[in-house]
Chain A
Amino acid sequence: SYELTQPSSVSVSPGQTARITCSGDILSKKFTRWVLQKPGQAPMLLIYKDTERPSGIPERISGSSSGTTVTLTISGAQVEDEADYYCYCVADNSWVFGRGTKLTVL
Chain B
Amino acid sequence: EAQLLESGGGLAQPGGSLRLSCAASGFTFTREVMGWVRQAPGKGLEWVSYITGNGGGTDYSDSVKGRFTVSRDNSKNMLYLQMDSLRVEDTAIYYCAKDRPYDGDYWGQGTLVTVSS
Chain A residues with CB under 8 Å of chain B are 31, 33, 35, 42-45, 48-49, 52, 54, 86, 88, 90, 92-100
Taking a contact as CB atoms under 8 Å apart, the answer to whether A52 and B104 are in contact is yes
Which residues on A sit within 8 Å (CB–CB) of B57?
Answer: 93
How many residues in B have their beta carbons less than 8 Å from beta carbons of A? 25
Chain B residues with CB under 8 Å of chain A are 33, 35, 37, 44-47, 50, 52, 57, 59, 61, 95, 97, 99-105, 107-110
Which residues on A sit within 8 Å (CB–CB) of B44?
Answer: 86, 97-100
Partner of A49 from the list B37, B97, B102 (CB cut-off 8 Å) is B102
Taking a contact as CB atoms under 8 Å apart, the answer to whether A97 and B104 are in contact is no
Taking a contact as CB atoms under 8 Å apart, the answer to whether B99 and A45 are in contact is no
Bound-state CA distance A42–B96 (Å) is 11
Nearest Cβ distance between residue B62 and chain A, in whole angstroms? 9
Given contacts A45-B105, A90-B101, 13 further A-B contacts (CB under 8 A): A33-B104, A35-B45, A44-B107, A49-B101, A86-B45, A93-B50, A93-B99, A94-B50, A95-B35, A97-B44, A97-B45, A99-B44, A100-B45
